């Protein structure tokens, strides 16, 4: 399930196409809800507004330029070829506007945190995670940083059962409400799902 978002953001859709479930996002422009699913109401491109947890279908129009140094981008972690390195598929700019095609990004563990000492990239991200990152190189390969508080993992799924993980206020761990699993990540301040405090 973890690649559902990557497969839908930036995709061309037709009226009636299923985008996601109503648990995942709020319906935005150009969509409608039926039987628990959010569907496209028009022909266009799927966009996600992470700040408001909202999914839209924008009519086809102008697309953003290539990413460049200093650009904030969104991507999904596609693999960890070595302990200190992750590959990221970059799919959208800061406004969640999809780029023309995908770009490969590289996240090195030294760009994940300012904490000294040896770390594994798995302490910060895992394959399937959605991240917000800043580009720190001026050309391809796009080198990414997630050191800033706004950057990091914005949505992750349980590696045991596949359910979405929740942020817990004040904790460095994400938790799975389904199986109770806890996982460490570099959590962005605007992580999408937050566990409500119990009264
Ligand atoms: Zn789980």
Cα 158 to averaged position of ligand 1 atoms, centre (Å):
5
Task: Provide the whole-model pTM.
Answer: 0.70
Q: What is the pLDDT, as a whole number, of residue 133? A: 97
Residues in the chain: 199
Q: What is the pLDDT, as a whole number, of residue 1? A: 37
Cα 179 to averaged position of ligand 1 atoms, centre (Å):
4
Cα 72 to averaged position of ligand 1 atoms, centre (Å):
30
What CATH superfamily classification does 62-199 receive?
Nucleic acid-binding proteins (2.40.50.140)
CATH of domain 4-58: 2.40.50.100
Cα 198 to averaged position of ligand 1 atoms, centre (Å):
20
For Cα atoms 49, 21, 173, give the angle at the middle one, nearest 5 degrees. 65
89 beta partners:
76, 104
Residue-wise pLDDT for 75-95, tens only, equals 999 999 999 999 999 988 888
How many angstroms separate the CA atoms of 142 and 144, rounded? 6
Q: Delimit the CATH 2.40.50.100 region(s) of the chain.
A: 4-58
Reported as a pLDDT band with limits 50, 70 and 90, residue 166 is: very high
Q: Delimit the CATH 2.40.50.140 region(s) of the chain.
A: 62-199
Cα 157 to averaged position of ligand 1 atoms, centre (Å):
8
**CA 133 → CA 4, 78, 160, distances in Å?**
20, 14, 26
Residue-wise pLDDT for 108-149, tens only, equals 999 998 887 768 999 999 999 999 999 999 877 899 999 999
SS3 for 18? Answer: strand
Cα 195 to averaged position of ligand 1 atoms, centre (Å):
14
pLDDT tops 60 at residue 199:
no
């Amino acid at each position: 399930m973890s690649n559902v978002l990557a497969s839908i953001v930036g995709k061309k859709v037709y009226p009636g196409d299923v985008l996601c479930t109503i648990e995942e996002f709020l319906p935005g422009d150009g969509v409608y809800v039926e039987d628990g699913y959010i569907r496209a109401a028009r022909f266009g491109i799927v966009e996600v507004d992470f700040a408001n947890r909202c999914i839209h279908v924008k009519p086809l129009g102008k697309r953003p330029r290539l990413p460049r140094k200093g650009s904030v981008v969104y991507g999904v972690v596609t693999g960890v070829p070595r302990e200190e390195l992750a590959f990221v598929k970059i799919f959208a700019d800061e406004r969640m506007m999809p780029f023309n095609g995908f770009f490969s990004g590289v996240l090195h563990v030294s760009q994940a945190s300012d904490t000294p000492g040896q770390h594994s990239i798995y302490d910060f991200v895992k394959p399937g995670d959605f991240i917000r990152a800043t580009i720190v190189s001026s050309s391809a390969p796009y080198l990414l940083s997630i050191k800033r508080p706004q950057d990091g993992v914005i949505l992750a799924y349980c590696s045991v059962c596949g359910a979405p993980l929740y942020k817990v206020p004040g904790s460095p761990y994400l938790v799975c409400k389904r199986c109770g699993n806890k996982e460490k990540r570099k959590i962005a301040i605007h992580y999408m799902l937050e566990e409500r405090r119990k009264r």
